[in-house]
Amino acid sequence: MNNDKSYFYKLLIHYDSKGYFQNGLTLPFMIGSRIFLEPKNNLNTVNEVITKLNNSAFKINVLKCEGIGEYVFRICDSGDNKIYRNLENFVITDYSFSGYSNINQVIKELEHKYNHLLEDKKYSKINGKWQFFCEKEDIPKINEIE
């Protein structure tokens, strides 16, 4: 495992430390944020982000957030990996992916669920609807990250 400090780790750490989320960030939000954080780089794919998270030095919590009905990700809280189900480097704190035995199955589901949103440049779910980003909420918070 490596100590990756890619833009989505900075994003997760920043949002968590500021209390900007309750459970985590969606994959489209994490992927689309690169537009602001690393504007000269291409956006990552679902496969690339999940693979990097799976190979990271940090355990990653994942659950389906009841508030928005989407999978959300965050850096694992200390000890969660001893309480909840582990699937490779992911700590699943609910019943998400319960029938899956490897990360490739998770990647396929997430690609099926989110690739069309990424193609349409819809990265943030606002009031139940996927959109680009909220100019008043999302973009200023993303731009706080150095």
Closest C-alpha among 19, 50, 20, 52 to residue 115: 50
Is the per-residue pLDDT at 139 higher than 70?
yes
Answer positive or negative: Cα dihedral of 11, 12, 13, 19.
Answer: positive
Average pLDDT of the chain? 93
Q: What is the mean pLDDT of residues 47-75?
A: 95
User: Looking at this protein, which amino acid is placed at residue 48?
Assistant: E
Q: Which is more confidently placed, 8 or 4?
A: 8
Q: How many CB atoms lie within 10 A of CB 22?
A: 11
Q: Look up residue 91 and give its two tokens.
A: 């700590």
Q: What is the mean pLDDT of residues 55-62?
A: 93
Residue 4: what pLDDT? 56
CA 43 to chain centre: 14
In tens, the pLDDT along 81-130 reads 899 999 999 999 999 999 999 999 999 999 999 999 999 999 999 999 99
Q: Look up residue 88 and give its two tokens.
A: 């490779």
Closest C-alpha among 35, 30, 40 to residue 70: 30
**Residues 33 and 132 sit within 8 Å (Cβ to Cβ):** no
pTM given for the model: 0.93
